[in-house]
Structure 1
Amino acid sequence: MTFTISHDHIGISVTAEDLEATVAWYSHSLGLTVESRFDTQGFTFVFLSRDGVRIELMAGGASTRQTWHGNVFGSMDPSRLHHFCLAVDDLDRVIATLGERGVELIGGPITAEAIGRRIAFTADNLGNIIELSEPVAA
Structure 2
Amino acid sequence: MSDLTLRQDAAANPIASIRGHHIAIRVPDYEAAKNWYVEKLGFRVLQEWPFGDMNLAYVAPPHDDSFVIELIGDGEASEAPQYEDLGSSLRQPGHHHLCWNVNNVDEAIAYLAAQGVTLVGEPFEVEAIHRRLAFFADPWGNLFELAQATA
Q: Could you say which TM-score interval applies, normalised by the shorter chain?
A: 0.7 to 0.9
User: Amino acid of the residue matched to residue 78 of structure 2?
Assistant: T
TM-score, reference length from structure 1: 0.87
Aligned residues of 1:21 and 1:125 also touching (Cα < 8 A): no
Aligned to 2:25: 12
Bigger radius of gyration: 2
How many angstroms apart in 2 are the aligned matches of 1:125 and 1:70? 12
Q: Percent of pairs identical after alignment?
A: 35
> Shift of the alpha carbon at 1:25?
1.4
User: Amino acid of the residue matched to residue 45 of structure 2?
Assistant: V
**Gapped runs of 5+ residues in structure 1?**
none
How many angstroms apart in 1 are the aligned matches of 2:144 and 2:116? 15
Aligned to 2:120: 106
Aligned to 1:89: 103
Secondary structure of the residue that 1:13 maps to in structure 2? Answer: strand
**Gapped runs of 5+ residues in structure 2?**
1-11
> Shift of the alpha carbon at 1:103?
1.8
Tell me the alpha carbon deviations over residues 80-112 of structure 1, each in whole angstroms, 9 at most, x when there is no partner: 311111111111221121122122421220001
> Shift of the alpha carbon at 1:127?
1.4
Aligned length: 134
Aligned to 1:47: 58
How many angstroms apart in 1 are the aligned matches of 2:92 and 2:77? 21
User: Amino acid of the residue matched to residue 9 of structure 1?
Assistant: H
Aligned residues of 1:33 and 1:48 also touching (Cα < 8 A): yes
> Shift of the alpha carbon at 1:63?
2.9
TM-score, reference length from structure 2: 0.80
Secondary structure of the residue that 1:69 maps to in structure 2? Answer: coil
- Please, which of 73, 77, 102 is the counterpart of residue 92 of structure 2? 77
Greater relative contact order (Cα 8 A, min sep 6): structure 1 or 2? 1
User: Amino acid of the residue matched to residue 32 of structure 2?
Assistant: A
How many angstroms apart in 1 are the aligned matches of 2:79 and 2:30? 11
How many angstroms apart in 1 are the aligned matches of 2:70 and 2:79? 17
How many angstroms apart in 2 are the aligned matches of 1:54 and 1:36? 11
Deviates most, 97-106 or 62-71:
62-71
